[in-house]
């Protein structure tokens, strides 16, 4: 019974209320912060649970009044409203009861690389970066370019961006994979449609305490930043290349003028990649159903096609096709795809959890 599943959350919330008024807890800032965060996380389900239990109680009260001469008709009308509300509250509670992805509230790194298609792939990376920037603006996220390598005719061969904002990972975690673009390149004189591909990796930003790296496992090289054709961009050794010897992961950062800042940014990306590797290994040990719910960000999976001649965008995971590609790219309206994706994975999770 759903009401029984809600009881532990209500009891824990009341327990937290008591703990947070305890003088010993108040004087322990670390404990106070931890318990306050737990309480805040419980607030949505507790609020909805109280509304649901009150609705159940009101339904029983009105049923008892149905045969009352004076209040029977009023109870009947009230009962109709309450019984329509009950299933809606149940669905909302089932979503709130789903296991939370621990990364959902984190900032994320978006790593976008040109794949097959040469210059056209690099140009599309640039277009997608602009579209994501507009999406970030729409949701009041902050976007920072961590590192980039420009394409020879524009766009980017590779770019890493940090997206900052509460829930950034929860919204963008489904973007990981291969994105295919079909359009007529600017260099195509005969108007033929070409197909190219880029890859997107989504990595949560992690705290230092979560990923600890042995300095002896790192090989750090410094060099002069280079631009198109390998020419030196500045005269100081500000570019940094970090190699994590055990895994072979290499991170290069040359965007900043400060070697220290480039090294700091490169280390953050390295930690995110190592965390992503750990998460992938963990998910590989779990069921295929669970992997699909979390969204593994597998770069080899073709997730979406952008067909410009037909103004069509298709997400292959949920068989969604929209003929609004121009608006979605121009205005960053990715929620038109992200919302159905979230609903799809929630439905799968509900089925697995038998909720």
* Strand positions, DSSP E, 188-341: 194-204, 218-223, 239-244, 249-253, 302-307, 312-315, 320-322
Residue 159's H or E segment, with its range, is strand 156-164
Task: Give the best-scoring range by mean pLDDT among 51-55, 94-98, 230-234.
Answer: 51-55
How far is the C-alpha of 185 from the C-alpha of 195, rounded, in Å? 9
The residue with greater pLDDT, 258 or 283, is 258
pLDDT at position 197 is 94
**Pair type for strands 177-183 and 302-307:** parallel
pLDDT, greater one: 301 or 23: 23
Does 226 or 233 have the greater pLDDT score?
A: 226
Q: Give the percent of the chain with pLDDT over 70.
A: 88
**CATH 1.20.58 boundaries in the chain:** 2-97
Sign of the four-CA dihedral 209, 215, 216, 222: positive
Planar angle of CA 39, 45, 47, nearest 5 degrees: 85
Q: 315-324 burial string, b = 16+ CB within 10 Å, else e? A: bebeeeebee
Contact 174, 295 (CB under 8 A): yes
Pick from 160, 151, 141, 174: nearest CA to 267: 160
The reported pLDDT for the residue numbered 141 is 96
Domain 2-97, CATH: 1.20.58
Residues of the chain with CATH 3.30.70.1660: 108-208+286-353
DSSP-derived secondary structure for 166-220: TTHHHHHGGG-EEEEEEE--TT-TT---EEEEEEEEEEE---TTTS---GGGEEE
> Domain 108-208+286-353 carries which CATH code?
3.30.70.1660
Q: What span, in angstroms and rounded, lies between the C-alpha atoms of 334 and 135? A: 7
Best CA proximity match to 121, nearest among 98, 155, 79, 93: 155
Per-residue pLDDT tens over the stretch 274-311: 888 887 777 676 545 344 433 444 455 789 999 999 99
Average pLDDT over the chain, rounded to an integer = 86
Q: Which two tokens stand for residue 1?
A: 């019974």
For 215-284, the fitting CATH number among 3.40.1190.20, 1.20.1730.10, 3.40.50.150, 3.30.160.20 is 3.30.160.20
State the pLDDT at residue 238: 79
Q: Which residues pair with 163 in a beta bridge?
A: 108, 143
pLDDT tens, 64-91?
Answer: 999 888 899 999 999 999 999 999 999 9
First vs last C-alpha separation in the chain: 10
The pair of structure tokens assigned to 5 is 């599943």
d(CA 336, CA 340): 7
Start and end residues for every CATH 3.30.160.20 domain found in the chain = 215-284
Its pTM stands at: 0.72
Lowest mean pLDDT among 165-179, 194-208, 213-227, 334-348: 213-227
Ramachandran category for residue 118: left, alpha or beta (phi over 0 → left; psi -120 to 50 → alpha):
left
Contact 164, 137 (CB under 8 A): no
């Amino acid at each position: 019974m759903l009401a029984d599943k809600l009881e532990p959350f209500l009891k824990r919330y009341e327990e937290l209320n008591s703990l947070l008024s305890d003088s010993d807890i108040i004087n322990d800032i670390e404990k106070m912060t931890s318990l306050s965060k737990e309480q805040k996380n419980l607030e949505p389900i507790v609020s909805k649970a109280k509304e649901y239990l009150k609705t159940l109680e009101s339904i029983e009260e009105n049923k008892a009044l149905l045969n009352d001469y004076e209040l029977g008709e009023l109870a009947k009308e009230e009962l109709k409203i309450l019984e329509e509300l009950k299933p809606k509250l149940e669905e909302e509670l089932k979503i709130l009861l789903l296991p939370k992805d621990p990364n959902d509230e984190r900032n994320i790194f978006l790593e976008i690389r040109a794949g097959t298609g040469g210059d056209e792939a690099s140009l599309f990376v640039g277009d997608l970066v602009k579209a994501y920037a507009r999406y970030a603006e729409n949701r009041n996220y902050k976007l920072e370019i961590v590192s980039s390598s420009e394409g020879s005719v524009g766009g980017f061969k590779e770019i890493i961006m940090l997206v900052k904002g509460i829930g950034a990972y929860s919204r963008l975690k489904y973007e990981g994979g291969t994105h295919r673009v079909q359009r007529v390149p600017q260099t195509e004189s005969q108007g033929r449609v070409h197909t190219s591909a880029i890859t997107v990796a989504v990595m949560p930003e992690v705290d230092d305490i979560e990923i600890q790296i042995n300095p002896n496992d790192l090989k750090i090289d410094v060099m002069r930043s280079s631009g198109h054709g390998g020419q030196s961009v500045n005269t100081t050794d500000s570019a940094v290349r970090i190699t994590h010897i055990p895994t072979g992961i290499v991170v290069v950062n040359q965007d900043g003028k400060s070697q220290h800042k480039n090294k700091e940014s490169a280390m953050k990306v390295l930690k995110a990649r190592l965390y992503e590797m750990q998460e992938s290994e963990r998910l590989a040990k779990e069921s295929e159903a669970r992997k699909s719910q979390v969204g593994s960000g597998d770069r080899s999976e073709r997730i979406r096609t952008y067909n410009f001649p037909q103004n069509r965008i298709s997400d292959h995971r949920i068989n969604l096709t929209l003929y609004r590609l121009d608006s979605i790219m121009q205005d960053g309206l990715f929620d038109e795809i992200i919302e159905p994706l979230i609903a799809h994975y929630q439905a799968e999770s509900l089925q697995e959890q038998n909720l």
